[in-house]
A and B are shown apart, each in its own frame.
Chain A
Amino acid sequence: MSRRAAYEARQRRRANLIAGLSTIAVVGLVILLVPMAPGWDAVKRSFFDGETFVNTFPTLLRAFLLDVAIFAWSVPLIFALGLAIALARGAQSPALFPLRIFGAIYVDLFRGIPVVLLVYLIGFGVPGLGLPRPWNSPYIWGTVALVLTYSAYVAEVLRSGIESIHASQRNAAICLGRNSRDTMRFVILPQAIRRVVPANMNMLVALQKDVALLSFIGPVEILRQAGIFKSLLANFTPYVVAAVIFLCVTVPATRYADYLLNRDRNARS
Chain B
Amino acid sequence: MPGPRLSLSGVHKTFGDAHVLRGSDLDIGVGELGCLIGASGSGKSTLLRCMNGLEPVDDGAVRLDGVDIAEPGFDLGPIRQRIGIVFQSFNLFPHMTAYENAALAPARVLGETTAARPRIEGLFHRFDLADHMTKYPDQLSGGQQQRVAVIRALAMRPETLLLDEITSALDPELVGEVLDVLRQLRDDGMTMVLATHEMSFARDVADRVVFMDQGVIAEEGAPEAIFSSPKRERTRKFLASVLR
Contact A194 B95 (CB under 8 A): yes
Contact B87 A178 (CB under 8 A): no
Partner of A177, one of B78, B93, B94, B95: B78
Choose, from A79-87, A155-163, A185-193, A232-240, the stretch at the interface.
A185-193
**Would you give the 0/1 interface string for A157-181, flagging 1 where the beta carbon is closer than 8 Å to chain B?**
0000000000011011111111100
B108 on the interface (CB 8 Å rule)?
A: yes
Contact B91 A177 (CB under 8 A): no
A186 contacts which chain B residues (CB < 8 A)? 93, 104, 108
B89 contacts which chain A residues (CB < 8 A)? 168
Partner of A175, one of B85, B92, B93: B85
Contact B81 A177 (CB under 8 A): yes
B104 contacts which chain A residues (CB < 8 A)? 176, 178, 186
Contact A175 B84 (CB under 8 A): yes
Are A168 and B109 CB-contacts (below 8 A) given A177-B77, A179-B77, A186-B104? no
Partner of B156, one of A172, A176, A194: A176
Contact A172 B93 (CB under 8 A): yes
Q: How far is the CA of A175 from the CA of B40 in the complex (A)?
A: 23
B152 contacts which chain A residues (CB < 8 A)? 176
Q: How far is the CA of A169 from the CA of B52 in the complex (A)?
A: 16
**Subset of 18 A-B contacts with CB under 8 Å:** A168-B87, A168-B89, A168-B91, A171-B54, A171-B91, A172-B91, A172-B92, A172-B93, A173-B105, A175-B84, A175-B85, A176-B81, A176-B84, A176-B152, A177-B78, A177-B109, A186-B104, A191-B93
A194 contacts which chain B residues (CB < 8 A)? 95
* Chain B: interface size category: 20 to 34
Contact A191 B54 (CB under 8 A): no
Q: How far is the CA of A191 from the CA of B136 in the complex (A)?
A: 13
Report the minimum CB–CB distance from B139 to chain A (whole Å).
Answer: 13
B93 contacts which chain A residues (CB < 8 A)? 169, 172-173, 186-187, 191
B132 on the interface (CB 8 Å rule)?
A: no
List B160-209 residues whose CB lies under 8 Å from chain A. Answer: none
A8 contacts which chain B residues (CB < 8 A)? none
Contact B91 A176 (CB under 8 A): no
Nearest chain A residue, comparing its CB with the CB of B93: A187
Report the minimum CB–CB distance from A132 to chain B (whole Å).
Answer: 47
B54 contacts which chain A residues (CB < 8 A)? 171, 174-175
A182 on the interface (CB 8 Å rule)?
A: yes
Are A177 and B105 CB-contacts (below 8 A) given A172-B93, A190-B95, A194-B95? yes
A175 contacts which chain B residues (CB < 8 A)? 52, 54, 80, 84-85
Q: How far is the CA of A34 from the CA of B2 in the complex (A)?
A: 95
List A117-135 residues whose CB lies under 8 Å from chain B. Answer: none
